[in-house]
Amino acid sequence: MTPTTINPAQRGYGITYHLHATNYCPGCGHAHWYIGRATAECAFCNTVLPLGTTESRDRNYVLAS
């Protein structure tokens, strides 16, 4: 297998869910979401978006090192 070089400028348009902001669904335009650990799912049309940040929802939660 040959290594692949990824150019971020050529990845295209990527939609992500942003915590602490109003996110309108690209599928239906509503703004009600079920937020998971890594994705957010639209409550109306089930469109799933990846979370656009690695920030934890619970600021008091700290991973053990």
- Residue closest to 32 by CA, chosen among 21, 44, 20: 44
Q: Binding to Zn ion by residue 42, rule CB under 5 A?
A: yes
Q: Binding to Zn ion by residue 45, rule CB under 5 A?
A: yes
Q: What is the four-CA torsion angle of 45, 21, 52, 35, rounded to 10 degrees?
A: -50
To the nearest whole angstrom, how small is the minimum distance from the Cβ of residue 46 to Zn ion? 7
- List, in sequence order, the alpha helices (H) in the chain: none
Q: Binding to Zn ion by residue 27, rule CB under 5 A?
A: yes
Cβ closest to Zn ion, residue 4 vs residue 22: 22
Q: Binding to Zn ion by residue 28, rule CB under 5 A?
A: yes
- Residue linked to tokens 């890594």: 38
Residue ranges binding Zn ion (CB under 5 A): 25, 27-28, 42, 44-45, 47
